[in-house]
Structure 1
Amino acid sequence: MAAEYNALQRNHTWRLVDRPPGPTLSLGNGFSSIMCLLDKSLYGLRQAPRAWFTRFAEFIVQLGFRATRSDSSLFVLHRGGHVAYLLLYVDDIVLTGTSSTLLRTVIDRLRAEFTVRDMGALSFFLGIDVKRTKDGFYLTQDRYAEDILEREGMTNCKPVATPIDAKGKLPADGPAVNDAHTYWSLAGALRYLTMTRPNIAYAVQQVCLHMHDPRLRHMALLKHILRYVRGTTSHGILLRPSADLTVTAYSDVDWGGCPDTRRSTSGFCVYLGDSLVSWSSKRQPTVSRSSVEAEYRAVAIAAAECIWL
């Protein structure tokens, strides 16, 4: 009990208080008359993230923010013709808006209620580097990509020119990999890398199709993607300012491309003005009996994304 109590002391903030009347858990060793009261905790306890989000959301709602329907972690404030956006991820907050005075007011109110620190202009968030250029915001994950390559010992590997070869559709047979956990870990890491790298979305989708039973040829494709990343770590996505916020989508499909199921793979990309905001590469859920049917399904998927946006 003493060792467990010491470990809890390092991760959370506790106070020793007098034991209230009624049955309580005795710590022993002379502590029968006192108990531990948890002041605050962000990590370690199972319900801590939910409790923290509820506490924070209730406060900013009092400031006038409203949670968006599409993302419960994104809050919007409208005040006096100006608007502010607040994005919360655990204890990381991104705050932006159309008025510096409004932003300063929100920051001051947050400081009065919570222990927060103003980190200045956004430069890094959840593994994504944000670089300001004359053309807009350039988002990259070069540090995250370097970490993946270093973890796999491929920092000095020879780069390749494309993320996938012409025969990227791989069957599900062949010798199994020795360590499936390594395959799952790398595929998941590359999946997150597609947040700013739409050019590898299709190749990563092909790798993720075989997560349940990876084979050596699938691992070879995964290593091929890593070699492509080696030569393109600085690649990213540019968010341009635009006066025209028209939503434009492009879709494509290969008919019956999967060698095992004969299902087609749909792909789309959606632009908001001049900025690419959404993209996907996914195998269709059913078999299309003609290329026209496959194209219609691909268009329907892209249209649904546009409606959601």
Structure 2
Amino acid sequence: MHIPPGFGTAQTEGKVLKLHRSLYGLKQSPCAWFDRFRKAMVQMGYKQRDDGSEIKRLKQQLTKEFEVKDLGHLRYFLGIEVSQSAKRIYLSQRKYVLDLLTETGMTGCRPAFTPIEANQRLTKDGGSPVDREQYQRLVGRLIYLSHTRPDLAFAVSVVSQFMHDPRSQHLDAVMRIIRYLKGSPGKGLLYTCHGNLQIECYTDADWAGSVDDRRSTSGYCTFIGGNLFTWRSKKQNVVARSTAEAEFRAMAHGVCEVLWLKILLMELGLFQEKPLLLYCDNKAALDIAHNPVHHGRTKHIEIDRHFIKEKLDQGSSACHILVLQINLLMY
């Protein structure tokens, strides 16, 4: 770090400053701050616990170490509204949605019942070009809104694929999402206690859904203790030659997610020794996972097959894949 103008003297010429603390705006700032906070907590002899009186005493000690202010219970953070009681926590972005409607002039529009039309297939040449900056700004706001709106995941995933060259058809799809928000601005995530921390995952795939490259879209959502925890909708990296292959790749993504959740709960000391449940509605994909005889006909998905089969062979601590006849919407 160079010496600021006006500070230089004869003793500092040709020298630089050694930076001991991270500056705001740097990517490593949150990591450096958390490491500093963790060291202070460890020095006080703390471990993770849930004790009201101890938390109050900790706040008093932290005021001696850092410049802190007690803001009470969390109510609003980065556009996310938090409503909590002794039995539940509700997250929403209602004000964020209303601001988006005002910005786009859609406060008086007619609401849509779904964020995207059923079986709608957008193409890269769908209509005339539109303002790219405006399109990217709207889609970017919808991406952030997806943090508390899993019902938007699939629709936002679709419109995000045309950020580099948006057309009128793509902008119409974005406006439909906004019309859908008009009818449900206060929707969000509800977390309640169900007395367990069972990990479950539901997977599905839209085979060859992309008209431009015929790639499939994978979708999954995971639950911990009956509460929605993570969700994702993303186009697959390669073309699937069958619906079974597309579903199988979605299962592989789901297995990775539940294993990550298991590691997370173990680090927090909250993991319960129960099977990790993975639900899929494609019988062919389930047969491939359980029966190694299919290996000769599935060399193109060999890595995913070995990965899932390995987790099944590990027994109760790995995944139990169950048949579930559902029509799982990826949004």
Matching residue of 2:214: 262
Partner SS state of residue 247, structure 2: helix
Matching residue of 1:54: 32
Tell me, yes or no, if the aligned pair for 2:80 and 2:91 is still in contact at 8 Å: yes
Is 1:150 matched with 2:90?
Answer: no
Correspondences of 1:287-302 after superposition (within 5 Å)? 287-302=239-254
Deviation at 1:114, TM superposition (A): 2.2
Q: Which amino acid aligns with 1:109?
A: Q
Matching residue of 1:277: 229
Instruction: Report the Cα distance in structure 2 between the residues aligned to 1:171 and 1:264, rounded to whole angstroms.
Output: 14
Compute the TM-score of the two structures, normalised by the length of structure 2.
Answer: 0.69
Tell me, yes or no, if the aligned pair for 1:202 and 1:281 is still in contact at 8 Å: yes
Distance change in 2, residues 1:248/1:51 (3 Å)? closer
Q: Which amino acid aligns with 1:130?
A: V
Is 1:162 matched with 2:151?
Answer: no
Deviation at 1:210, TM superposition (A): 0.8
**If each structure's helix is expressed as a fraction of its own residues, which one has the higher value?**
2
Tell me, yes or no, if the aligned pair for 1:42 and 1:52 is still in contact at 8 Å: no
Deviation at 1:50, TM superposition (A): 4.2
Matching residue of 2:148: 196
Tell me, yes or no, if the aligned pair for 1:168 and 1:206 is still in contact at 8 Å: no
Distance change in 2, residues 1:50/1:134 (3 Å)? closer
Instruction: Report the Cα distance in structure 2 between the residues aligned to 1:207 and 1:52, rounded to whole angstroms.
Output: 31
Deviation at 1:283, TM superposition (A): 0.7
Distance change in 2, residues 1:100/1:24 (3 Å)? farther
In structure 2, list runs of 5 or more residues that go unmatched.
Answer: 262-331
Is 1:122 matched with 2:100?
Answer: no
Looking at both structures, which has the greater relative contact order when contacts are Cα pairs under 8 Å and sequence separation is at least 6?
2
* Equivalent of residue 113 in structure 1, options 65, 89, 95: 65
Deviation at 1:174, TM superposition (A): 3.1
Deviation at 1:106, TM superposition (A): 2.6
Distance change in 2, residues 1:220/1:302 (3 Å)? same
Instruction: Report the Cα distance in structure 2 between the residues aligned to 1:253 and 1:286, rounded to whole angstroms.
Output: 13
Matching residue of 1:175: 127
Matching residue of 2:258: 306
Tell me, yes or no, if the aligned pair for 1:176 and 1:213 is still in contact at 8 Å: no
Residues 215-272 of structure 1: CA distance to partner in whole angstroms, max 9, x if unpaired? 1100000000000001101100111112211101111111111111111111111000
Deviation at 1:144, TM superposition (A): 1.1
Tell me, yes or no, if the aligned pair for 2:115 and 2:152 is still in contact at 8 Å: yes
In structure 1, list runs of 5 or more residues that go unmatched.
Answer: 6-15, 26-37, 66-76, 85-97
Taking only the aligned residue pairs, the percentage that are identical comes to 37
Is 1:214 matched with 2:203?
Answer: no
What is the count of residue pairs matched by the alignment?
253
Is 1:22 matched with 2:22?
Answer: no
Tell which deviates more after alignment, 278-287 or 129-138.
129-138
Q: Which amino acid aligns with 1:231?
A: G
**If each structure's strand is expressed as a fraction of its own residues, which one has the higher value?**
1
